[in-house]
Amino acid sequence: MTCKNKILISSSAKSTIKESSYLATELGVGLEISRLPFYQDRNITTEDVIEKLKTDLTGFKNRITLHAMFSDANVASQDPLLSDIAKLRYKQSLEVGKALKADTILFHTGNKGTKHYGSQEQFKTKYIMFWREFIKEFESEGITAVLENVFEETPNYCMELYEGISSKNLKLALDTGHVNLYAKETKVEDWIKKYNTNLYHIHIHNNFGKNDDHSNLNNGTLDFKDIFTTIKTMKIAPSYVLEMFKEEDIRISLDKIKEIMN
């Protein structure tokens, strides 16, 4: 494993993307761009965002992936206006990813887990319909889209979405902290085994099952030795994003990964 290709840090690790890129360069790892500037100004254009990010990333040579905009975004919303806004944010994210030459763009499902009659099937149908068209743009650009679990309680739902869309440019992402927080009846290892070779990208961070702390690998109830052993046993090679927002936590976690791998 070469760190700059398989291990990345979040651009939220430091107060600015530029500072995070310097840290990634120092550590010899890649950078996942998150918190796009769209959130800061409702009137900012896609072109403005791309120009700003390119300036911030001047001289950065390592791998870049992108975390698509996700806040309240639900492309399968029953409200067509809300759905249209979410679709716009998804498409803007793709444009930014293309401009930055990101090879992978991560999307939340937007599924809040509503339990009333028919809501899950309705969400699934509309979500798959949207993605069957949207994924064609990824296929033409050679970019991989990955779907990340958030509130899902088992890996089955994301697998059903993935299988329903069905594209060589679509894979699955696994967020370890979200499993620990929202999927109380399953373990991260269960998700890895279910996803198998479809697991392409992992957000690794820890918590105590109460809050989405995004803490280092030593600070929480997840046992990352078991997690990495399962990945090795499955003979898969996903990318790892250290999705922590403090430099100290990133350094602790990198040391933990080296300890486990050696």
pLDDT-derived band of residue 240, with 50, 70 and 90 as boundaries? very high
Q: What is the mean pLDDT of residues 182-195?
A: 97
Q: 56 or 43, which is more confident?
A: 56
Whole-number mean pLDDT of the chain?
Answer: 95
**Residue 236 DSSP label:** -
> What would the two tokens of residue 212 be?
């989405």
The type of residue at 101 is K
Q: Read off the pLDDT of residues 142-173 as tens digits, 9 standing for 90 and up.
A: 999 999 999 999 999 999 999 999 999 999 99
pLDDT confidence bin for 235, thresholds 50/70/90: very high
Instruction: Quote the pTM value.
Output: 0.96
97-109 pLDDT, tens digit each? 999 999 999 999 9
Q: Is there a contact between 143 and 103 (Cβ–Cβ < 8 Å)?
A: yes
Q: Where are the alpha helices (DSSP H) in 61-214?
A: 80-100, 119-141, 156-165, 176-182, 188-195
Backbone phi, psi, residue 246, to 5°: -130, 135
Tens digits of per-residue pLDDT, 107-148?
999 887 777 767 888 899 999 999 999 999 999 999 999 999
Write down the pLDDT at residue 126: 95
Confidence of residue 197 (pLDDT cuts 50, 70, 90): very high
What mean pLDDT comes out for the span 66-75? 94
What's the pLDDT at 2? 62
The yes-or-no verdict on residue 53 having pLDDT over 80 is: yes
- What pLDDT shows up at residue 152? 94
pLDDT computed for residue 110 by the predictor = 87
For residue 178, what pLDDT is reported? 98
CA pair distance 235, 201, nearest whole angstrom: 14
Q: In this model, does residue 23 exceed pLDDT 90?
A: yes
Q: Give the Å distances, CA to CA, from 231 to 14, 56, 235.
A: 29, 34, 6
pLDDT for 36 beyond 80: yes
> Which amino acid is residue 8, in one-letter code?
L
Q: How confident is the model at residue 24 (pLDDT cuts 50, 70, 90)?
A: very high
User: How distant, in Å, are the alpha carbons of 78, 229, 254, 256 from that of 68?
Assistant: 21, 29, 24, 28
SS3 category, 119: helix
Phi, psi of 174 (to 5 degrees): -120, 125
Residue 43: pLDDT over 70: yes
**Taking residues 222-226, what's their average pLDDT?**
97
What domains lie within the chain, and their CATH numbers?
Answer: 3-261 (3.20.20.150)
| Residue 41: predicted pLDDT | 82
